[in-house]
Structure 1
Amino acid sequence: MKVLFVVPYPIGKAASQRFRVEQFFPVLDAQSIKYKVAPFWDGKTWAILYKNGNTLQKVIGTIKGFAKRKALLLQLHKYDYVFVHREATPVGPPWFEWLAAKVFGKKLIFDFDDAIWLDNTSEENKQVAKYKQHGKTANICAWSYKVSAGNSYLQKYAMQFNSQVEYLPTTIDLAKYNRLKNQDTERLVIGWTGSHSTLSYLKLIEPALRQLEQKYDFNFVVIADKAPDLNLKSLRFIPWKPETEIEDLLQLNIGLMPLPDTEWAKGKCAFKALQYMALGVPVVVSGVGENQNAVPDGKAGYTCYTNQEWFASLEKLLLNTSLRTQMGEAGRKWISEKYSLRVHQLTFLQLFT
């Protein structure tokens, strides 16, 4: 069996691709399944894509990406399956997916972990947003042999167009996340990790964090690819790096995942919370979408709906070392049983049957 992975990002650069595609490569190797990975963006373009300026380089990088996709059509005959993560091209119609499925007759597997059929224009992508065709998600679902959806909300959407939709949550490889946070630390750290696309969500809990700052001494650490715009005296920014990701997360005593109550946010797969829990870090999250399923409320952390609940939950954890330890251990056990790579590797392999 041979599989072609058609992905947006350079290998090792984006969380969704690393945890939904790349971390399954050893599973394929163990089954002697051959595969090739074909990113749209090259490393140089990806490095500047969400930064201001460099317009010409971005245009050249985009043209190169489309050229690579056209050249890839000539190689499709070598593969039994074409696995598309999110989309084959970032703008325009789904011509590659249509040709792969309808002209070349390949078994198309479509994987997505966001509500990408919705318009979610950010400051960084507003210039190209008008060229995106969000409606193509429905078409790709319909043309696919099987669809892999990251949560039940996404699965329900995809099943409108295809009956072969597998629920495959974003998973954690506990062989890599193999340590537990020691909660007996001198200075407490509340923290958040993510990308520029979700940094604005931290504004939702800024009032609760300011209120906490008036009573307690702690650091609020943000691990991201861009510094946040927050008026907090406790704020510490750590640039995200793949090689230090786990070490940086282990600084946290409490992990946060705020979300707005929107249709887009309902498509989120609670990945931040899963990472925290895998390392024995108790979590406090918004009660939106998959967060409500991924976090056992009152056992591995707290699910909040109001600013007052955010403050009370964080205060409770800040003041109680044994509670943080207990919830951290419960979260680790929960990930092992429900969201680990070991538990879901068979689901991934069954996409190719």
Structure 2
Amino acid sequence: MNSAKILLLLPYPLHTAPSQRFRIEAYFPLMHQHGIVIKAQPFFNEKAWSRLYKPGYFISKSLDVGKGFIKRLWAVIFLVHKYDFVLVHREASPIGPPIFEWIVTKIWRKKLVFDFDDAIWIPAISEQNKIANSIKCFWKTKWICKWAYKVAAGNNYLANYASQFNANVTILPTSVDTQNRYRTLVNQSIFKPAIGWTGSHSTMKYLDLVIPFLRQLEKEKEFDFYVISNKEPKFELQSLKFIKWTEETEIEDLSKINIGLMPLEADRWSEGKCGFKIIQYLALGIPAVASPVGVNAKIIENNQNGYLCQNENEWYQSISLLLDDRYLRKEMGRKGREKIIREYSIHVNADLFLELFK
């Protein structure tokens, strides 16, 4: 292990996307500590990533993808042979068939470790990128699983899918650093509490499920509603306070929240979600209120560290109760943090990650 060399074929620039930051980048110090040599190769650079989900820019986006393909091709031809393992997070290329994974495993015969944390085999069409989605080749997830030396899946649902094609599947929860980063506990004793949600623009649509309850609560109670995201929300609320997400202020911004929300639709795509919003909330001592979909129901112990809500009345009652009782928020937050330390800390899951490369 001390002499292992790993090439990381990553989709996003470093320090940008949550899945990559917390599933891969968070383990960089651990790998360095164990003498593992790593080289990160993102497909997109920061400029390309910043405009990827903006409407328009068709020519620029096409050039960005072309540059990414050239960079990826150069990596698999001239770099792969120097490494013992190749780690692919989600996919080596955002569109097209799994040609790069095929070269790594069939031409170079290298050990490919495949990590994913969403149901990426299920087509998910966005308005901004309908053309790109038509050539994404969602079917390739199956083949990457088949060719992989080992697969790391974010939850049971994903692991069950991967296990159809590969016998070496590890459930590796998305985890946080509870010792060095997620240490600040939220002050639950303040007079005016704050409800909050964090996530990318692609998951902001789920807030439509709770906006009606929040509008009703605005008529009855005082609170702020924070949305921490890469894009400003389009809906209107009197209590709304938007915070532009940055890695540097992430913990400080989350610490403004007293109650964290994670609504989801009950569908196959949501079953693949790894509950990372909840993990972030609980790690900071923030009780969570969420839909009982997929792994959410495993992370939240109902009435202990948060609430699982199946209908409008449960959402309204749960949020209302937490707004009114700061002692309840504090106790639930304490229990939530204890659970994250036990089960969703990178220090607890370090051995699972290192085992992928043995």
Do the structures match in fold with TM over 0.5? Answer: yes
* Aligned-partner residue type, residue 115 of structure 2: D
User: More deviation in 197-206 or 44-53?
Assistant: 44-53
Moved more, 246-255 or 70-79: 70-79
Three-state SS of the structure 2 residue aligned to 1:318 is helix
**How large is the RMSD of aligned CA atoms in angstroms?**
0.8
Q: How many residues align?
A: 353
The amino acid across from 1:242 in the alignment is E
- Residue pairs, 1:1-353, within 5 angstroms: 1-73=4-76, 74-174=78-178, 175-353=180-358
Q: In structure 2, give the amino acid aligned to 1:89.
A: S
Once residues 129 and 335 of structure 2 are traced to their aligned partners in structure 1, the CA distance between those partners, rounded to angstroms, is 39
Q: Which runs of 5+ in 2 are unaligned?
A: none
2-structure distance, mates of 1:246, 1:34: 29
Q: Distance in 1 between matches of 2:185 and 2:128?
A: 35
Question: Distance in 2 between the 1:22 and 1:232 partners?
Answer: 35
Q: Runs in 1 of length 4+ with deviation above 6 angstroms? A: none
Q: Which amino acid aligns with 1:333?
A: E
Consecutive unaligned residues of structure 1, counting only runs of 5 or more, are none
Mapped to 1, the partners of 2:337 and 2:322 lie a distance apart of 17
Encode CA deviations 1:237-258: one digit per residue, 9 max, x unaligned.
1111111100000000100000
Between the aligned partners of 2:126 and 2:255, the Cα distance in structure 1 is 30
In structure 2, what is the Cα distance between the partners aligned to 1:328 and 1:276? 8
Q: Which amino acid aligns with 1:196?
A: H
Q: CA deviation at 1:178?
A: 1.0
**1:277 counterpart letter in structure 2:** L
Specify the SS of the correspondent of 1:198.
helix
> What secondary structure does 1:305 align onto?
coil
Give the deviation of 1:155 after TM superposition.
0.3
Give the CA deviation at 1:172. Answer: 0.7
The structural deviation recorded for 1:214 is 1.6
Task: Decide which moves more: 338-347 or 206-215.
Answer: 206-215
Q: Aligned partner of 1:80: which letter?
A: D
Shift of 1:125: 2.4
Offset from partner CA, 1:132-186 (integer Å, 9 cap, x none): 1000000000000000000000000000000100000000101201110010112
